[in-house]
Structure 1
Amino acid sequence: MVQDFLGDLGKAVITLLVVIDPIASIPIIMGLTGKMERKQRTSILNVTIITVAILLFVFAFIGSSILSTFGISIFSFMIAGGVLLFLVSIQLLTHGDWTFGNQTLHDESGVVPLAFPLLAGPGALTLVILSFETYGILITVLSIIIVLGITYAILRSVDPIYKLLGKRGSLIITRIFAIIIAAFAVQFVIDGIKQVFH
């Protein structure tokens, strides 16, 4: 019984961690926060993790009902997320940071695009819905908590990287990573369109 529980928990954790893929988000975080102080960057990461937690738990419990009520497909999230990321990449390439009009975004950056669609993207939201239906409430909740802890630890590793690069180096890297973000965006849109017309 315990062995089965641990086995299912392990599967749920590994699958969710692979889908969220926090390591792949490090370049995007560096791109979005390259000109910020450490305190502000930490604040954004905190907002990011809290937002991801809320999204994952909400979708685990009532995700299916939300989507069916509004007639929204998970692939619509994918396409919309791709468009959003592409706009972010354009801002990074032209301004060196993420701005909205004349306002530079601060803690809000932890909500969009870091929390959604990068970490708690369509894949992760769909997965927690399936996990709830497959493994039940306990394993789903535990797997989300464990993955959030691992994700936070990985994202905090950007600080040593910033110390190594310095502000000038970080600004250069920001421009380079903007291209990577654009590639992520295009792939989101392509995958979403493929699934819509599949």
Structure 2
Amino acid sequence: MNLSVKDIFSVTLILFSVIDIIGSIPIVIDLRKKAGHIESFKATLVAGVLMIAFLFFGKSILNLFGIDIGSFAIAGGIVLLLMGMEMIMGIELFKSEPEEASASSIVPLAFPLIAGAGTMTTIISLRAVYALENIIVGILLNLLFVFVVLKSSSWLERKIGPGGFSIIRKVFGIILLAIAIKLFKTHINF
């Protein structure tokens, strides 16, 4: 075992900033309003499985389909762009059918919001620098925090209030658009 508190702390902070679950609270609240509820454990579990699987098999999976990391990042950017437009313009692009309510905990919450292209790309990058066990612990610590935030989304919504939620939703919609544009700029080669 190559566990290092310093490396675990570094990995945890890097992933925390990329996952940005705090910044995603308005999106989580919006998804909960549309679906009626969010299955916090299911979303966290699926995101965790995706991150761990990508840690071990990410490059191989993308190579199997002939997809480069840039294309993967752009696809995730498109989903983020659409979610941002939804938040800013007050339109509904991701319509959820009653029978698909439990799926909203997976798409777009677990993927691409929590375990999206940025997270997956970061995980591949971390693998080149840090020991595998330190990355796994960092992922697990982030998943624990994600679960707590998802579980407390109703409480957070009550504290923020409808007016505050509307303002925060628009601000974070613009941030999502900016993240999507950054993904495009970084990975589109002219």
Shared fold per TM-score greater than 0.5: yes
The question of whether the paired residues in 1 share the 8 Å contact of 2:15 and 2:122 is answered with: yes
Contact 1:31 1:175 in 2 (8 A): no
- Residues 1:108 and 1:179: Cα distance change in structure 2 (over 3 Å): farther
Match in the other structure for 2:61: 66
- TM-score normalised by length of structure 1: 0.77
Size of the alignment, in residue pairs? 187
> 1:70 deviation in Å?
1.9
Which of 162, 170, 181 is the aligned partner of 2:173? Answer: 181
The match for 2:47 is 52
C-alpha deviation, 1:165, in angstroms = 6.2
**Inter-CA distance 51–32: structure 2 relative to 1 (3 Å threshold):** same
Give the Å deviation of 1:186: 5.6
Relative to the length of structure 2, the TM-score reads 0.79
Post-superposition offset of 1:98: 4.3
Q: Is the 8 A contact 1:30 1:174 kept in 2?
A: no
1:151–1:19 CA distance, 2 compared to 1 (3 A):
same
Question: Which residue of 1 is the match for residue 30 of structure 2?
Answer: 31
Q: CA deviation at 1:30?
A: 1.3
Alignment-derived partner of residue 91 in structure 2 = 94
Pair member with larger Rg: 1
> 1 or 2, which has the higher helix percentage?
1
Q: 1:118 aligns with which of 113, 116, 119?
A: 113
Higher mean displacement: 20-29 or 131-140 = 131-140
Q: Secondary structure at the match of 2:126?
A: helix
In structure 2, runs of 5+ residues without a counterpart are none
> How has the CA–CA distance of structure 1 residues 130 and 165 changed in structure 2, closer, same or farther, with 3 Å as cutoff?
closer
Q: What is the letter of the counterpart of residue 5 of structure 2?
A: L
**Equivalence for 1:156:** 151
SS for the counterpart of 2:23 is helix
For 2:31, give the aligned amino acid.
L
CA, structure 1 residues 174+52, in 2 after alignment: closer, same or farther (shift >3 Å)?
farther
Select between 65-74 and 86-95 the one with higher mean Cα deviation: 86-95
Q: 1:123/1:36 Cα in 2 relative to 1: closer, same or farther (>3 Å)?
A: closer
Distance 1:116 1:33, change over 3 A: same
| Percent of aligned positions that are identical | 28
Q: Hey, what's the Cα distance between the residues in 2 that align with 1:150 and 1:139?
A: 17
Equivalent-residue separation in structure 2 for 1:175 and 1:91 (angstroms): 14
- The corresponding residue for 2:183 is 191
Q: List runs of 5+ in structure 1 lacking aligned partners.
A: none
> CA distance change for structure 1 residues 72 and 10 in 2, over 3 Å: closer, same or farther?
same
Query: Taking structure 1 as reference, are residues 106 and 182 closer, same or farther at Cα in structure 2, changes over 3 Å only?
Result: farther
**CA offset at residue 27 of structure 1?**
0.8
Root-mean-square deviation (Å): 3.0
Q: Distance in 2 between matches of 1:49 and 1:16?
A: 14
Letter in 1 for 2:138: S
